[in-house]
């Protein structure tokens, strides 16, 4: 698989999002997905302490036993695990990283990401605590998630000379949700930050499995109330169907278009797509081969514009 830089790390252009582990998948199902990802050449595994009520980290750590050194392990902290385990205070960061290291069965985290801004804690204090973790060898690189362009700039300006700084921003981005192009992606380009898209397949809408009229399969993510309202609406269905027709006219699939379009952006090192089966893992990896031409990108812009 082609690889790209993410800070000082090298990652494959397709990664595995692990938010299904411990929530929709039990351990044995998680293990089969993780091993399929490893066999397919995936190197970046992205999880968070809150996924599956901490079980995602636990299951992933178990499933990677004996193969930890072959992967880039990314996790996140900051969203509420419970009433007391949350935020970005230095004392909590020290606790959170040790908890994640224990669950992941490792001695270091390759990319440790602040899952969301913490308005109660100055970003300079958070960054100083994360720098301590980097200097102690517990963390290799640090990143952020769900940050606005202004917050990215503030964090960049708050770093002390010689200290660790965010190397990546992980925000929602897909053919259905192009809002990062308005401010965050340009800011990443200006500062030399990697941009990691989450929900790259719009919770499954861009896999080609859903028609404009059919309801979402009963146990799919799009069958969940929040996803139905957010992704499975008339506007998004129309765009997905038209994009699917465009891909088909090129002898490609909607999945190939969704992943290939994202990889046309130089700031994106890897598309971290979730999977609930080995078959989905292999499909995601196999979809990464389309490199769209300028004309094709322009046609996609007309079908799925940044603004409507």
Q: Tell me which H or E stretch contains 102.
A: helix 90-104
Q: N- to C-terminal Cα distance for the chain? A: 36
**pTM for this prediction:** 0.93
Is 142 inside any structural domain? yes
* Cβ atoms of residues 172 and 195 within 8 Å: no
Is 168 inside any structural domain? yes
Q: Spell out where 19-159 has E strands.
A: 44-46, 72-77, 109-114, 139-145
Active site residues: 51
Is 301 inside any structural domain? no
For residue 232, the model assigns a pLDDT of 83
Q: What is the CATH number of the domain that holds 37?
A: 3.20.20.100
User: Of the candidates 111, 114, 27, 22, which has an alpha carbon nearest to the alpha carbon of residue 73?
Assistant: 111
How far is Cα 201 from Cα 108, in angstroms, rounded to an integer? Answer: 30
Residues in the chain where the model's pLDDT stays below 50: none
Return the residue matching tokens 């004996």.
66
Domain that holds residue 152: 3-207+268-290
For residue 214, the model assigns a pLDDT of 56
Number of domains the chain is built from: 1
Is 303 inside any structural domain? no
Is 236 inside any structural domain? no
Q: What is the pLDDT of residues 110-121, one digit of tens each?
A: 999 999 999 999
Is 33 inside any structural domain? yes
Q: Tell me which H or E stretch contains 239.
A: helix 234-249
């Amino acid at each position: 698989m082609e690889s790209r830089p993410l800070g000082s790390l090298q990652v494959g252009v397709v990664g595995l999002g692990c938010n299904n582990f411990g929530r929709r998948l039990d351990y044995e199902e998680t293990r089969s997905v993780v091993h399929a990802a490893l066999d397919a050449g995936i190197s970046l595994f992205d999880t968070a302490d809150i996924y599956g009520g901490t079980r995602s980290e636990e299951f992933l750590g178990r499933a990677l036993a004996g193969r930890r050194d072959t992967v880039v392990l990314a996790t996140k902290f900051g969203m509420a695990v419970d009433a007391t385990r949350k935020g970005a205070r230095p004392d909590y960061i020290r606790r959170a990283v040790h908890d994640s290291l224990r669950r992941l069965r490792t001695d270091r985290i390759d990319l440790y990401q602040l899952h969301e801004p913490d308005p109660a804690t100055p970003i300079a204090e958070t960054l100083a605590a994360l720098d301590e973790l980097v200097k102690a060898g517990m963390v290799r690189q640090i990143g952020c998630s769900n940050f606005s362009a202004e917050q990215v700039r503030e964090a960049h300006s708050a770093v002390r000379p010689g200290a660790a700084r965010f190397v990546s921003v992980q925000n929602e981005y897909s053919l259905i949700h192009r809002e990062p192009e308005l401010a965050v992606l340009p800011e990443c380009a200006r500062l030399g930050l990697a941009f990691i898209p989450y929900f790259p397949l719009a919770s499954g809408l861009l896999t080609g499995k859903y028609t404009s009229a059919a309801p979402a399969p009963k146990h799919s993510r799009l069958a969940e109330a929040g996803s139905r309202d957010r992704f499975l609406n008339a506007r998004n269905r129309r765009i997905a169907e038209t994009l699917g027709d465009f891909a088909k006219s090129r002898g490609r699939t909607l999945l190939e278009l969704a992943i290939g379009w994202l990889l046309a952006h130089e700031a994106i090192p890897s598309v971290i797509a979730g999977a609930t089966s080995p078959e989905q893992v292999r499909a995601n990896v196999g979809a990464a081969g389309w490199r769209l031409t300028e004309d094709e990108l322009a046609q996609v812009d007309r079908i799925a514009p940044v603004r409507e």
